[in-house]
């Protein structure tokens, strides 16, 4: 571990730098990890371009990155379940206190939670990173580091499908075929959804969705009438879907979700758009359509590891670009331009394999 700890640091809006930071020392309940694979998320790019997301505002330099896997280099004195050399996936949200949300299993809603790369907390897009050992999950031998990093977006899909109540025989509409829409597709199918229709503006994303198991793909155009899109969705499925998972955050897409979902169904909002939105709320009310929010995830890593290890879910096709850590700015620009699906940064100079 001679030398520094190359890190991708956001100093201010538009000011992304590679810089050496000290190698951290793990506390009693922490592990020091040599990072291997870190995916770039839309939120990382949003912080880079805007310096904030909602109420989370960058006020000091912050290391980016929260979709990550690495290898244990040091273990704290109290850590029993991990040892040096273990390969682990990192859950980036760690409760700071045992509050009511922690106690009832919804720790993602704790207002004081630590979360990688959310101001003021540093992320893990670096060579060496320390993290709570209880939120590091050992990877089976047949699961790669990149798959381990993709457990983070996969967890969004698991949490969204759980919130939506996807089960055997459910018909599902997914609005948006970006990385999150695609993991929702993978999870919905794994949880027993009988038919999934997915929408997007980009034909290449719909092609990827088809390869990943979508039963129907619907290309939408800006300005399409939501009620007409709802009719098209019903025609494709033969009935209105039980569940809609909205992954774009676009107001017109939320309209489509509400109009398309069958009476008594569920609309789950995953995509984050403008703070205020005009929506056909009365239409939802008289159909008794439940509208449910999604904030990150909780209690998903064990299920995700099992899904990947068993082969029930294959996330490998999602990685379309890879860059060494030294080319982080180029990797971020690739993501900003919307090229491919998932851009992966490789943090270990001696191991650039998946």
Q: What is the pLDDT of residues 93-145, one digit of tens each?
A: 999 999 999 999 999 999 999 999 999 999 999 999 999 999 999 999 999 99
> With the C-alpha atoms ordered 294, 70, 314, 337, is the resulting torsion angle positive or negative?
positive
Going by C-alpha positions, the residue among 253, 149, 238 that lies closest to residue 201 is 253
Beta strands in the chain, from DSSP E residues, in sequence order? 5-12, 15-21, 30-39, 52-53, 56-57, 62-63, 67-75, 87-90, 93-94, 114-115, 128-132, 136-138, 171-175, 195-200, 216-219, 243-246, 266-269, 290-293, 319-324, 342-346
How many residues are listed for the chain in this entry? Answer: 354
**Residue 95: how many CA atoms within 13 Å on its side-chain side?**
18
Q: Which residue has the tokens 């939802």?
A: 284
Going by C-alpha positions, the residue among 258, 304, 272 that lies closest to residue 178 is 272
pLDDT digits (tens, 9 = 90+) for 180-230: 999 999 999 999 999 999 999 999 999 999 999 999 999 999 999 999 999
pLDDT digits (tens, 9 = 90+) for 60-100: 999 999 999 999 999 999 999 999 999 999 999 999 999 99
| Torsions phi, psi for 342 (to 5 deg) | -125, 125
Angle at 352 between CA 210 and CA 11, to 5 degrees: 90
**Residues 6 or more apart whose Cβ sits within 8 Å of residue 143:** 305, 308, 309
pTM: 0.96
Q: Which residue has the tokens 């977006």?
A: 153
pLDDT score recorded for residue 351: 87
pLDDT score recorded for residue 2: 46
Cβ-count burial 47-65 (b if 16+ within 10 Å, e if not): bbeebeeeebebeeebbbb
């Amino acid at each position: 571990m001679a030398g520094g700890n190359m890190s991708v640091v956001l100093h201010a809006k538009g000011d992304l730098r590679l810089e050496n930071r000290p190698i951290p020392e793990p506390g009693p309940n922490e592990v020091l990890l040599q990072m291997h694979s870190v995916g770039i998320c839309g939120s990382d790019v949003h912080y880079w371009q805007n310096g904030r997301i909602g109420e989370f505002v960058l006020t000091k330099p912050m290391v980016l990155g929260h979709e990550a896997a690495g290898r244990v280099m040091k273990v704290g004195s109290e850590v029993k379940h991990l040892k040096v050399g273990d390969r682990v996936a990192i859950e980036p949200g760690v409760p700071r206190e045992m509050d009511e949300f922690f106690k009832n299993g919804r720790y993602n809603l704790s207002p004081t939670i630590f979360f990688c790369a959310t101001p003021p907390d540093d992320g893990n897009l670096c060579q060496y990173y320390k993290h709570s050992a209880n939120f590091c999950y050992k990877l089976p031998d047949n699961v790669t580091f990149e798959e381990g990093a993709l457990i983070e977006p996969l967890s969004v899909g698991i949490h969204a499908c759980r919130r939506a109540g996807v089960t055997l025989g459910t018909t599902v509409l997914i609005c948006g075929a970006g990385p999150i829409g695609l993991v929702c597709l993978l999870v919905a199918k794994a949880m027993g959804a009988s038919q999934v229709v997915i929408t997007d503006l980009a034909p290449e994303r719909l092609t990827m969705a088809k390869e990943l198991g979508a039963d129907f793909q619907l290309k939408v155009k800006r300005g399409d009438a939501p009620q007409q899109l709802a009719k098209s969705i019903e025609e494709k499925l033969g009935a209105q879907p039980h569940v809609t998972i909205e992954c774009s955050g676009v107001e017109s897409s939320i309209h489509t979700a509400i109009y398309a979902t069958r009476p008594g169904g569920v609309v789950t909002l995953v995509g984050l758009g403008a703070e205020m939105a005009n929506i056909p709320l009365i239409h939802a009310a008289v159909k008794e359509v439940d509208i449910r929010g999604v904030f990150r995830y909780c209690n998903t890593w064990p299920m995700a590891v099992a899904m990947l290890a068993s082969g029930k879910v294959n996330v490998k096709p999602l990685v379309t670009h890879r860059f060494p850590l030294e080319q982080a700015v180029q990797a971020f620009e690739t993501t900003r331009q919307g090229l491919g699906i998932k851009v992966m940064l490789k943090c270990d100079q001696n191991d650039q394999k998946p």
